[in-house]
């Protein structure tokens, strides 16, 4: 585990996402499932119940990937990182449409972008083919 950057990152991200998902339910009592106005986790990051469920699912995927193997962790890190980045790029071109779900001025988008770059960096830049850690 300690020799695999992908497993370390997946387990840390998994724990954080699960925690954020659980904390989210504590601040979204009475909030509609897909309401545009939600509660604030840690006073910074706005969430609604849908976001909490997504956080829990992503957290579980990270944690399972990180526990199972380096290859699984690498796959989860790369998939989630690429999805975040692609959603960001597509979001620029749908900014003035009803499909826009971006809020680029907020703390959570800073975190999403940093997460995407870190996840993609770890998945692509470490443990390249044939050198995935098995320990």
Partner 1 sequence: MQALVVATRSWPMLAAFGAGLVLMALAAGAGGAAQPALIVLGIAALGWGVLALRAGRVLVPSVVLVATAVTLVGMAAAVATGASVATDIPPGPLAAASVFIVVMALSAGLELRGRTRRARRDEPLPAGRGASAPRPAGRGASEASVSRPARREASVAARLIGLASGAALVAALATPALAATEAGEQAVPHGMHQLDPIEQPGGHGH
Positions touching partner 1 (CB under 8 A) are 2-5, 8-9, 36-38, 46, 85, 88-89, 91-93, 95-96, 100, 102-106, 108-111, 113-115, 117-118, 120-122, 124-126, 128
How distant, in Å, are the alpha carbons of 25, 40, 51, 121, 125 from that of 32?
A: 12, 14, 11, 36, 40
Q: With contact defined as beta carbons under 8 Å apart, do 24 and 69 qualify?
A: no
The least CB distance from residue 37 to partner 1, in Å, is 6
| Residue whose CB is less far from partner 1, 57 or 95 | 95
DSSP category for residue 32? -
Q: How far apart are CA 16 and CA 102, in angstroms?
A: 22
The least CB distance from residue 96 to partner 1, in Å, is 5
The tokens describing 31, both together, are: 């909030």
| Residue whose CB is less far from partner 1, 42 or 105 | 105
| Residue whose CB is less far from partner 1, 36 or 57 | 36
| Residue whose CB is less far from partner 1, 46 or 62 | 46
Q: With contact defined as beta carbons under 8 Å apart, do 119 and 13 qualify?
A: yes
The least CB distance from residue 46 to partner 1, in Å, is 4
């Amino acid at each position: 585990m300690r020799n695999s950057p992908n497993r370390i990152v997946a387990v840390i991200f998994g724990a954080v996402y699960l925690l954020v998902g659980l904390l989210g339910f504590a601040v979204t009592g009475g909030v509609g499932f897909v309401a545009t106005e939600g509660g604030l986790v840690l006073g910074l990051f706005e969430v609604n119940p849908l976001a909490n469920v997504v956080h829990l699912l992503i957290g579980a995927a990270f944690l399972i990937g990180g526990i199972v193997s380096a290859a699984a962790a690498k796959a989860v890190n790369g998939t989630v990182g690429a999805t975040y980045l692609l959603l960001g790029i597509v979001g620029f071109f749908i900014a003035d449409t009803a499909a826009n779900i971006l809020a680029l001025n907020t703390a959570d988008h800073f975190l999403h972008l940093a997460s995407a770059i870190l996840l993609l960096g770890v998945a692509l830049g470490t443990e390249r083919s044939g050198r995935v850690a098995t320990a």
